[in-house]
Amino acid sequence: MIKQTSTGKWVARSGSKHSYTNDIDEAAQFDTARDAHRKACLESESIWYCSQLPRRVWHDDGPV
C-alpha cells in the first residue's frame, strides 16, 4: 500500500473519484512490493506493508 507522506492519506484504488483516501478499505493494494514501488512517487509517498499496520485494521480474512 502507498501512503502520501504530507497528509497521511492512502493512494486510492484505480478508478476511484479521488487520488487519495482516508479509508484504508478503499486504498490501492499491490501484489508485490515491486509493483508498489513502480506506482509510488517516493519523493512524496511511502510504501507500507501489511505487517506494518496495526492489528485493528485487519479483517477476518487477513490483512488488507
Please state the domain extents for the chain. Answer: 2-57
Cα–Cα distance measured from residue 1 to residue 29, given in angstroms and rounded to the nearest whole number: 5
CB 47 within 8 A of CB 29: no
Residues in the chain: 64
Per-residue confidence in pLDDT tens, the chain, 64 aa: 999 999 999 999 998 899 999 998 899 999 888 999 999 999 999 998 877 676 555 555 544 4
Its pTM stands at: 0.75
